[in-house]
Amino acid sequence: MGSVSDYDVMSGAEQMLSAFGVDFEKKVISAHRTPDLMYGYVKGARDRGVGVIIAGAGGAAHLAGVAAGLTTLPVIAVPMQTKSLGGLDSLLSMVQMPTGIPVATVAIGGAKNAAILAVEILALSDPALKEKLDGYRKQQAEKIINTTI
Ligand code: RP5
């Protein structure tokens, strides 16, 4: 995430990844405040065993786009709500990546969905993780089926 101020939202991704038993790194790295750190972190990610990068940032949210430019690992962006433009600025700067360097952008504040999408990508080569995803989907369906009003 681009700032510790993003952590309230990004902790949702942390909770979700923990629930699925997926290991993760949790870092504050800014594309504009710490560009050298950003470069080294993303360049070394694949060799550290990282499978997917989730980038949460707000405002001119270039964090995800810069990360995507530095790696061919999948990058999922979480746009943060902002005071001045409500997060539309973050959303548009993340979702409108030019052709060739994709960033998969979830909803404003959608850290939990970012984590689930990351789990789905990792589950392509991990049958045990796929089982967990199936179980999670089943739970959601049962909640609806068992709802009475
Ligand atoms: C972005 O600027 C961060 O991702 C954060 O959402 C926003 C504000 O950062 P702070 O001023 O709270 O550190 O880089």
Q: Indicate if ligand 1 lies below 6 Å from the C-beta of 59.
A: yes
User: pTM for this structure?
Assistant: 0.97
Q: Indicate if ligand 1 lies below 6 Å from the C-beta of 80.
A: yes
pLDDT at 96: 97
Q: Counting beta carbons within 10 angstroms of the beta carbon of residue 2, is it exposed (0 to 12), middle (13 to 18) or buried (19 or more)?
A: buried
Task: Encode pLDDT of 121-130 as tens digits.
Answer: 999 999 999 9
Q: What is the C-alpha to C-alpha distance for residues 122 and 40, in angstroms, rounded to an integer?
A: 23
pLDDT at 109: 98
What is the distance, to the nearest Å, from the Cα of residue 145 to the centroid of all Cα atoms in its chain? Answer: 30
pLDDT at 23: 98
> Quick count: other Cβ atoms within 10 Å of Cβ 122?
18
pLDDT at 29: 98
Give me the chain's average pLDDT, please: 98
Q: Indicate if ligand 1 lies below 6 Å from the C-beta of 81.
A: no
Ligand 1 probe mutation, 3, 82, 93, most atoms within 8 A of CB: 3
Task: Encode pLDDT of 37-93 as tens digits.
Answer: 999 999 999 999 999 999 999 999 999 999 999 999 999 999 999 999 999 999 999
